[in-house]
Amino acid sequence: MNMAKRTIVAMPGDGIGKPVLEECIRVLNAAGFEADYVQGDIGWEFWCKEGNPLPDRTIKLLEEHKIGLFGAITSKPKDKAIAELTPELKDKGCVYYSPIVAMRQYFGMDICMRPCKTFKGNPLNFIRRGPNNTIEEPMVDAMIFRQNTEGLYGGVEWTNPPDQVYEALKTHSQFTKNFSWCPKEELAVSTRILSKKYCTRIIKAGFEYAKKNGYKAITICEKPNVVRETSGMMLKIAQEMGKNEYPEIAVWDTNIDAQMMWLTKNPEYYNVIVSSNMFGDIISDGFAGLVGGLGFACSAQFSESGVAVFEPTHGSAPKYADYETSIVNPIAMFMSAVMMLEYLGENGIAKKIENAISAVVAEGKVQTYDMAKMRGTADVINKGAASTKAMADAIIAKL
């Protein structure tokens, strides 16, 4: 195929984001993915040096090239942020903000996909007891579609709300009944605002994915019996869309609390789950725990305008950041790159990398410290765990 060579914005960020992204690009190159990588500056280092953890030049790069591979960043509380600023910037009024949230909001990356899939032979897989004391290892294969911009993480909140807000709250009978005893100064209010447009987009994404991959149902995981307005809207949109546009796909509906219980009873029943921002965050962490945890949890986020960023869900793991040889598991990063390749239509290369990872995990000879169930310390390599690089080498050898 004669396609224009792609440019990927590589944003290593801080701590272990750097080694995992470096190894990821090595794997992509070895698998035959043809691309140029431009460095996107992001994270704590740029906050300290420039007073901005997401410099404009990085935004411009993403606007131009549309596709980002992101490692992880470090965030710290406000007072630490000011203390670590370079002296020249200390009194310039810089305010720290999360560059991930800012990137998400700037580009409107409203759709987040978090796959949780069992690799056969992964020692971290969830097991349960079956009939007659047998041990069962269910094959989990779930894609969680999380609305990424609204709901409880939408940021519309107050402590001691302004008068207009307080007056408006008082127009609600439940508020008067349950909260009018409390002085306004002692109230904290976080809102959960959903819009029909973005509910529709995340639900549609779930249906399309189910259709493309031949799944017979999607599950809307909310709490419509209690959070009637917002969860209710999600469920209603899904049921109508199902009836009108995807009659062959069933719409299941679970409550977030019950879903967390079913997760450990029958996680293999669920293939496509659609949820709002916080519930989606919770379910995807829960599912990730069944298939290996942070060393395996990958994600993708997309916007309407075609900007897409692929990243492991783990953070910068500062305690391992300064190890001479990086010990962390790069598979979450590699699987994020597999999602990128699928998004770009490079399904052959995506499969090749995924198969190579599967083969290394199944063989069980090369395992990072988490897979080998060791405590993460600098001497795990001497005890037989694979380094980040050794894991990448083993995967490259299987390509």
Residues near ligand NAI, by CB under 6 A? 72-75, 100, 294-295, 314-319, 328-329, 332, 370, 376
Please provide residue 146's backbone torsions phi and psi, each rounded to the nearest 5 degrees. Answer: -110, 125
State the binding partner of 317 from Mg ion, ligand NAI, none, CB within 5 to 8 A by kind: ligand NAI
Indicate the residue among 27 and 288 with the shorter CB distance to Mg ion.
288
- CB of 110 or CB of 281, closer to Mg ion: 281
Q: How far is the CB of 329 from ligand NAI (least distance, A)?
A: 4
For the CB of residue 365, give the shortest distance to Mg ion in the complex, in Å. Answer: 31
Q: What residue spans of the chain are helical by DSSP H?
A: 17-30, 44-50, 56-65, 78-83, 99-107, 163-170, 173-179, 196-213, 230-245, 256-265, 277-290, 318-321, 331-343, 347-363, 388-398
Closest CB 285 distance from Mg ion, rounded Å: 5
DSSP 326-394: --S--HHHHHHHHHHHHHTT-HHHHHHHHHHHHHHHHH-SS-BTTTTT----GGGTTTTPBPHHHHHHH
Q: What is the DSSP string of 264-298?
A: HH-GGG-SEEEE-HHHHHHHHHHHHHHBTGGGT-E
Residue among 74, 63, 67, 57 at smallest CA distance from 18:
74
| Cα separation, 383 vs 35, whole angstroms | 37
User: CB under 5 A: which stretch of 6-14, 34-42, 274-282, 296-304 binds Mg ion?
Assistant: 274-282
Give me the residue whose beta carbon is nearest to ligand NAI: 315
Of 64-72, 162-170, 206-214, 273-281, which part binds Mg ion (CB under 5 A)?
A: 273-281
Cβ proximity to Mg ion, 281 vs 354, nearer residue: 281
CB nearer to ligand NAI: pick between 219 and 277: 277
With binding defined as CB under 5 A, does residue 281 bind Mg ion?
yes
User: Which residues, in sequence order, are CB contacts of 252 under 8 Å at separation 6+?
Assistant: 217, 218, 219, 220
Which does residue 281 bind out of ligand NAI, Mg ion, none, counting CB within 5 to 8 angstroms by kind? Mg ion
Residue 316 interacting entry, from Mg ion, ligand NAI, none, C-beta within 5 to 8 Å by type = ligand NAI
Residue 384 structure tokens = 């037989």
Check if the beta carbon of residue 28 is closer than 8 Å to that of residue 37: no
CB of 312 to ligand NAI, least distance (A): 6
In this structure, the number of other CB atoms found within 10 A of the CB of residue 133 comes to 6
Residue number, 169 or 278, with CB nearest to ligand NAI? 278
Contact partner at residue 147 from Mg ion, ligand NAI, none, CB < 5 to 8 Å by partner kind: none
| Contact call for residues 262 and 254 (beta carbons, < 8 A) | yes
Cα separation, 320 vs 317, whole angstroms: 6
Residues in the chain, overall count? 399
By the 8 A CB rule, do 69 and 336 touch?
A: yes
Q: Cβ closer to Mg ion: 40 or 280? A: 280
Q: How many CB atoms lie under 10 A from the CB of residue 294?
A: 17
Q: Which does 148 bind (CB under 5 to 8 A by kind): Mg ion, ligand NAI, none?
A: none
Does 311 sit near Mg ion (CB under 5 A)? Answer: no
Residue 267 touches which of ligand NAI, Mg ion, none (CB < 5 to 8 A by kind)? Answer: none
Nearer to Mg ion, 232 or 293 (CB): 293
CB of 251 to ligand NAI, least distance (A): 31
Give the one entry of Mg ion, ligand NAI, none that residue 110 binds, where binding means its C-beta sits below a cut-off of 5 to 8 angstroms depending on kind: none
**In the complex, minimum distance from the CB of residue 332 to ligand NAI, in angstroms, rounded to a whole number:** 6
Query: Applying CB under 5 A, which residues contact Mg ion?
Result: 281
